[in-house]
Every structure is written in C-alpha cells, then in structure tokens.
Amino acid sequence: MLISRFDSPTSSLGSVPAPSAPVTTTGESTTAHQGGAAFVRDARSELFLPAVVTMVGQETFHEPAGLRDSRFRALVRQSAVEDPEWTAGLLGWLRGAARTRTASLVGAAEFAHARLAAGLSGHSRQVVDAVLQRPDEPRELLAYWTSHHGRALPKPVKRGCRRRRRRLYDGRALLKYDTASKRFRFGDVLHLVHAAPDPAKPWQGELFRYALDRRHHPDRAVPPASQRVLTAHRALTALPAEERRAVLTAPDGAERLAAAGMPRH
C-alpha cells in the first residue's frame, strides 16, 4: 500500500496555501501551440516568461531562435512604452538577482530604442546603467546596438555606458576583457561614448589613454607606471620563452603571476 505523507488532508504540515506565481492571465480563452485549450496571458506575464528563459540565438522545441528573439524584442519595446517603470525593474532584476546576461543587455537596448522612437524621455539611462555589471558588457551592448540600430548612439545610451565605465574599468579588467579577438575593444567604447575619467580616480585618465593606444597604436602602447598590474604583466610576458619556466617555478613565482593579473591555478 502506498502512503502519501504530504499530499493528504491529514498531513502534519497543516493547511498548504494555494500555489501562486507572477504569471497571470486575462481570462480570455485561446489555443496553445499544439492546439490545446489555453488562456491569454497579460502583458507583464507575456514578457516575463521569455525574459527569464530566453537564451538569445538558441533554438527551442516549439519556436525557432529568430522568431523567439523577435518576439522578445517586440514585447520589450511594447512594454517600454506602455509600462516603463515595471519593465525597467524587470530588466534590472534580470541582470542582477536573476544573473541573466544576454537577455538583459538586449532588453536594455530595445527599451532605450523604443522609448526614443516614441519620443519619450526618462528611464533609458537608468536601465542601461543597471544591466551593465561586468567590464565587458558596455562593449557587448554597443556591439548589439550598432548591429541593429546603427552607429549613432543616443544620449541615454552614452550616459548609461559612461557611468558604468567609470565604475568597472581598471587594469585587471583591461587585461581580462580587452582582447584582440573582439570586434569592439575598450578603446572603441571610450571613443563612442566620449567617456571621461572619474574625478575621484586620478589614475583612470592614464588608463583610458592606454586603452585607446592598445586599440589604435598597439605597437607603441605602453602601460602607465601607475598601473602596477599592467606593468607587471608587460614585464612578465616580455621574458624570453626559455626564461619563463625558471621564473614561474621560483619561490615567488605565484606572487609574480598574481601581481601580473595571471593567478596561478
């Protein structure tokens, strides 16, 4: 005989509250993808569901990648105009607590573009600022923007990127994310958004100039002396190949790697 411990009227857990979810419907009947009975979701739920599961460019069982991505962008654009406060909160939460990177970047770009196209001000800079959490993400957002909306950047997008640049850019970020394999380099972003260094970080001006030199004059780019991790990295990588093993296996090898932004695993 099977005994149910939890799913029974006499469960020791007492009364169980009815399940609830942020997804709600309008009560209007419709049919599902395969023809079954279903209900129409409200606008917020219609956006929330793809936002939390969308992996941009990835196929799903019921929906091709291109169609799914287009639907997500259209929902963001509609909600950005009709319900901007809630949509801004969703995109910030998506990148923050939900740790969803690509969908939040795409959503922020489409949010800003939709509001500008509708002649509406407000919210866009804050949304762009909120979703940029990692040093390479301003580059990712601008790469998406220029490929979908052209190279002309509106002020809210520039300002959102500028704010994050000041917070996220340091020597270690430059070493880790500013690589020649990327179409957009840190120097490109600095140029496009006209970023100025943070007045509270006097070293950032030299770092920005070095990032621009790495992009446009790599053969003569020299890291500023104030950036110890960059100078240590340059010195370490400049060693002849036959000398590197001795340096790395020396008693202070791990410390030298760490100082150069290359932690030893």
Question: Would residue 206 be called left, alpha or beta, if left means φ above 0 and alpha means ψ between -120 and 50 degrees?
Answer: alpha
Q: Is 198 contained in some domain?
A: no
Asked if the model's pLDDT at residue 7 lies above 80, the reply is no
Name the residue with tokens 């240590």: 232
Of residues 211 and 60, which shows the higher confidence score? Answer: 211
> What average pLDDT score do residues 78-86 get?
96
What residues make up the domain containing 98? 38-131
Other beta carbons within 10 Å of 212: 17
Q: How far apart are CA 108 and CA 5, in angstroms?
A: 47
The amino acid that residue 153 corresponds to is: L
Over residues 133-158, the pLDDT tens digits come to: 999 999 999 999 999 999 899 999 99
Q: Is 6 contained in some domain?
A: no
Task: Report yes or no: 149 and 77 within 8 Å, Cβ to Cβ.
Answer: no
Across 96-105, 192-201, 213-222, least confident range: 192-201
Record the pTM: 0.82
Over residues 231-260, the pLDDT tens digits come to: 999 998 888 989 888 988 899 888 888 888
Over residues 9-29, the pLDDT tens digits come to: 555 555 556 666 667 777 788
Q: Is 99 contained in some domain?
A: yes
As for how many domains the chain has, the answer is: 1
Asked if the model's pLDDT at residue 6 lies above 60, the reply is no
Where residue 1 falls among pLDDT bands split at 50, 70, 90? very low
Judged on CB neighbours under 10 Å (0-12, 13-18, 19+), 58 is exposed
Name the β-bridge partners of 31: 37
Q: Is 264 contained in some domain?
A: no
Residues with Cβ within 8 Å of 4's Cβ and at least 6 positions away in sequence, in order, are none
E strands present in 131-186: none
Q: Is 120 contained in some domain?
A: yes
Q: Is 265 contained in some domain?
A: no
Q: How far apart are CA 177 and CA 157, in angstroms?
A: 21
Q: How far apart are CA 227 and CA 4, in angstroms?
A: 65
Across 25-29, 134-138, 175-179, 215-219, least confident range: 25-29
Could you give phi then psi for residue 250, rounded to 5 degrees? -70, 160
Q: Is 55 contained in some domain?
A: yes
Closest CA to 174 of 211, 134, 228: 211
> What average pLDDT score do residues 147-170 get?
89
Q: Is 220 contained in some domain?
A: no
Asked if the model's pLDDT at residue 202 lies above 80, the reply is yes
